[in-house]
A and B are shown apart, each in its own frame.
Chain A
Amino acid sequence: MTLIQPSPVAVETAPQHRSRAVLATGFVLLLGLLAAVCFFSITLGSRGVGIPTIWKAFTDYDPSSASQTVIRELRVPRTLIGIFAGAALGISGAILQGVTRNPLADPGIMGINAGAAAFIVFGIMVLGAQDVSTYVWFAFAGAGVATVTVYGIASFGREGATPVKLALAGAAVTAILTSITSAIVMTNVEALNQLRFWQVGSLAGRYFPVFWQTVPFLAIGLVVALGTGRALNGLALGEDLALALGQRVRLTRVVMFVTVAVLCGAATAACGPIVFVGLIVPHIARMICGPDYRWILSYSLLLTPILLLAADIVGRLAVAPGELQVGVVLGVLGAPAFILLVRYRNLAEL
């Protein structure tokens, strides 16, 4: 079978199309912005640490200095997790919105968060998992199982996994998993404590062990995800047209869902179910780039960590000497941002 490229005409006629040079410049600017946010993520926090001490933490580390430990063992892994998990969530949201042609798709619609939470609770209650490094794997497995189940249910029938069937299957599986979780949790207050953390999402309390456990999945997933742009462009034209263009639609979908499950499972394992970024960022990216998914994916890859880390920094400074979880900050700031977005611009029809 010959793979024919999606018609460039469809892309060219898009209203928000910008020239490749402009988009490339924007991408470089975003890289710079990400670097800046990372710098602040290392230098700002609920504990005041001076630049000289930060410098020493990297050049002449003294493990007995609490401030240097904070920089190296807390803020560096926190920032790294923010970058990778953020990128994973944003790019997953973009893929899900593209593949389901549903502008409200995000990791939540596939039951991924619910699956991760259900498996974590199962791990804690039934198998006695207690520390983060153990239930990371339960989160990951849960995300995978949920995705496969949803996709499997939606695939029944002649026409395969249509957007509507996927959304319905996602809602149903989410409901089942959530009730299983509640049923287990209600019998034990300790699991309830742990789960509250998993319901909000946070970059705090997650260190290098968690990072090293999730980063291989995140890195591979991101590379694969970035390669799906062309196929998403094809799907955006409609299934029939994509088929006519010679795309293997079903296989493409499977690859995308597996990628999303890996990315979201690992991201949820690393920092809990973080909401909104996966939903909003692809829309922002689409506003900037127009409908070409190769650019939407690239922009989402950078925009999400920028937003996530910025929100995390706000949470660190807002209630020092304590901290607000990034999930709470995103909820508080993200909701009005989304409303503004909807008010000022009709979200792109997919």
Chain B
Amino acid sequence: MKRLLLLPVAGLLLAACGFSTSTDNASSDDGASEGGPWSYASGDGKTYTADSTPQRIIAQGEAAAALMSYGIKPVAIYSNDPVKTNKSLKGLDLSGIEILSETFGEIDGEKAAELRPDLIVSSYWPLEKAYGGFESGVKAEAKKVAKLAPVVGPAEGDSVVEKLEGYEELAVSLGADVSDPKIAASKKTFDEAVDRFETTVAGQKGLTTLAVSPADDLLYVAVPGEASELSDFQRWGLDIIDPDSPDPGFPYWENLSWENADKYQPDVILMDDRNAETSMKIAAGQPTWTSIKAAEADAIVMWPAYWIHTYSDYAEQLDLLSDALAKADPDLT
């Protein structure tokens, strides 16, 4: 998951490494004859169809969490990070599911092929024009896995809510029963969490925030428009500073040298929560970290960065944010 941080560095070294989308458009694959004709309008703008409903699904970790919240269990998952520490897989019963990878950029191609998947599910990243796990820069073996079956999933980008709706649509196409009262209940909890978030933010007039991810040599500042949860927060009233010069090669972030750490002065720092402990240590070791007043005042709130894929996770994280933002000082800067 930290790949969003990795690639700006890696990109320089992999400049010559071209990328070609390798989705087999509308492949109808093998002829397993159960279920009727299947189709899904995916995040890359294409509609994928099959003669029968796909049964054997390989899913990227976060996508697996989304599907499992609708009772669809994949045969295998590949994760960008160790399954034990992956935030979206926390608490899920993964028994009987093959783990094909716990590292970004790798997928065990041999195992994947043995599983004879009908479908591969992962979110689509519009900026990179690729599904998660098959971006440029991943190993050749991982890219080959994308040829085993059609890769589908809703797009990342504008809104987590839209993405969740996309996953629901996909789950329904795969035979999920959405009348399950548990699903309605988690949506209701989520709606309440959104209301609470909106009320909290509305009560904090003039509060500004900045979403960051500190690294040894640079401070990465997130572009809210390219992080679907940050876009949602903005829509719900939170003022997140838009960095003015995103990295043209990897526009999820503006790269600030530590010399320029104080370029933006928010009232609250939204800290990338992936490897947050390490990130905080790295930041604390930087002499200019406290030149950001919010860092000096320890006004730091965890930002659930890029990983939310279920209504229940989103509700939980929104509540945590509401609690923290309610205590923030809108007049710090």
A45 touches B5 (CB 8 A): no
Select which of B103, B216, B256, B291 is within 8 A of A192 by beta carbon: B103
- Interface 9-residue window, one of B42-50, B161-169, B259-267, B318-326: B259-267
A66 touches B288 (CB 8 A): yes
Q: How far is the CB of A325 from chain B (nearest CB, A)?
A: 6
**A187 with B257, Cβ < 8 A, contacts A69-B288, A73-B288 known:** no
Complex Cα gap A192–B5 (Å)? 11
Confirm or deny: A197 has a beta carbon within 8 angstroms of a beta carbon on chain B. yes
Complex Cα gap A69–B197 (Å)? 38
Give the nearest-CB partner of A73 in chain B: B287
Interface members, chain A 248-269 (any B CB < 8 Å) = none
B287 touches A207 (CB 8 A): yes
A196 touches B10 (CB 8 A): yes
B255 touches A74 (CB 8 A): no
Q: How far is the CB of B287 from chain A (nearest CB, A)?
A: 4
Select which of B2, B9, B261, B288 is within 8 A of A190 by beta carbon: B2
A131 touches B2 (CB 8 A): no
**A321 with B245, Cβ < 8 A, contacts A193-B2, A197-B216 known:** yes
A131 touches B259 (CB 8 A): no
Complex Cα gap A192–B103 (Å)? 9
Chain A interface: which size bin?
35 or more
A130 touches B6 (CB 8 A): no
- Interface 9-residue window, one of A33-41, A54-62, A170-178, A198-206: A198-206
Q: What are the residues of chain B within 8 A of A325 when measuring CB–CB? A: 9, 217
Give the nearest-CB partner of B292 in chain A: A66
Q: What are the residues of chain A within 8 A of B260 when measuring CB–CB? A: 46-47, 320-321
B262 touches A66 (CB 8 A): yes
Interface members, chain A 193-237 (any B CB < 8 Å) = 193-194, 196-197, 200, 202, 204-205, 207
Q: How far is the CB of A120 from chain B (nearest CB, A)?
A: 12
Confirm or deny: A9 has a beta carbon within 8 angstroms of a beta carbon on chain B. no
A66 touches B285 (CB 8 A): no
Chain B interface: which size bin?
35 or more
Complex Cα gap A190–B277 (Å)? 11
Q: What are the residues of chain B within 8 A of A69 when measuring CB–CB? A: 287-288, 291
Q: How does the 8 Å CB contact mask read for B278-304 relative to A, with 1 for contact and 0 for none? A: 100110011110010000000000000
Give the nearest-CB partner of B218 in chain A: A322
Confirm or deny: B254 has a beta carbon within 8 angstroms of a beta carbon on chain A. yes
Complex Cα gap A197–B6 (Å)? 10
Q: What are the residues of chain B within 8 A of A131 when measuring CB–CB? A: 281-282, 285
Complex Cα gap A324–B106 (Å)? 27
**A193 with B6, Cβ < 8 A, contacts A70-B259, A321-B245, A322-B255 known:** yes
Confirm or deny: B252 has a beta carbon within 8 angstroms of a beta carbon on chain A. no
Q: What are the residues of chain A within 8 A of B286 when measuring CB–CB? A: 205
Q: What are the residues of chain B within 8 A of A45 when measuring CB–CB? A: 257, 259
Complex Cα gap A200–B197 (Å)? 43
Q: What are the residues of chain B within 8 A of A73 when measuring CB–CB? A: 287-288
A321 touches B281 (CB 8 A): no
Q: How far is the CB of B259 from chain A (nearest CB, A)?
A: 4
Confirm or deny: A341 has a beta carbon within 8 angstroms of a beta carbon on chain B. no
A319 touches B278 (CB 8 A): no
Select which of A74, A190, A197, A207 is within 8 A of B259 by beta carbon: A74
A189 touches B80 (CB 8 A): yes
Select which of B81, B82, B102, B255 is within 8 A of A321 by beta carbon: B255
Confirm or deny: B190 has a beta carbon within 8 angstroms of a beta carbon on chain A. no
Confirm or deny: B104 has a beta carbon within 8 angstroms of a beta carbon on chain A. yes
**A323 with B218, Cβ < 8 A, contacts A189-B2, A189-B104, A200-B9 known:** yes
Give the nearest-CB partner of A203 in chain B: B217
Select which of A187, A202, A316, A321 is within 8 A of B254 by beta carbon: A321
Q: What are the residues of chain B within 8 A of A70 when measuring CB–CB? A: 259, 288
Complex Cα gap A321–B106 (Å)? 32
Q: What are the residues of chain A within 8 A of B247 when measuring CB–CB? A: 322
Confirm or deny: B333 has a beta carbon within 8 angstroms of a beta carbon on chain A. no
Q: What are the residues of chain B within 8 A of A287 when measuring CB–CB? A: none
Q: What are the residues of chain A within 8 A of B255 when measuring CB–CB? A: 319, 321-323
Give the nearest-CB partner of B80 in chain A: A189
Confirm or deny: B21 has a beta carbon within 8 angstroms of a beta carbon on chain A. no
Q: What are the residues of chain B within 8 A of A74 when measuring CB–CB? A: 258-259, 287-288
B275 touches A204 (CB 8 A): no
**A189 with B12, Cβ < 8 A, contacts A70-B288, A74-B258, A321-B260 known:** no
B6 touches A321 (CB 8 A): no
Of B6, B81, B257, B291, most buried by chain A (CB within 10 Å of CB) is B257
Complex Cα gap A204–B288 (Å)? 13
Q: What are the residues of chain A within 8 A of B288 when measuring CB–CB? A: 66, 69-70, 73-74
B257 touches A46 (CB 8 A): yes
Complex Cα gap A190–B87 (Å)? 15
Interface members, chain B 116-150 (any A CB < 8 Å) = none
Select which of B81, B261, B282, B285 is within 8 A of A189 by beta carbon: B81
29 A-B residue contacts at CB 8 Å?
A46-B257, A66-B261, A66-B291, A69-B291, A70-B288, A75-B259, A132-B216, A189-B1, A189-B103, A190-B81, A193-B5, A193-B6, A196-B6, A197-B215, A200-B13, A204-B218, A205-B217, A205-B258, A207-B285, A316-B259, A321-B245, A322-B254, A322-B255, A323-B217, A323-B218, A323-B257, A323-B259, A325-B217, A328-B12
**Beyond the given A130-B278, A321-B256, could you list 6 further A-B residue pairs with CB under 8 A, ordered by the A residue number?**
A132-B285, A189-B102, A190-B2, A205-B217, A323-B255, A328-B12
Which B residues are within 8 Å of any A CB, using their own CB? 1-2, 5-6, 9-10, 12-13, 80-82, 102-104, 106, 215-218, 245, 247, 254-263, 275, 278, 281-282, 285-288, 291
Which 5 A-B residue pairings sit nearest by Cβ, starting from the closest? Answer: A322-B255, A73-B287, A66-B291, A47-B259, A46-B257
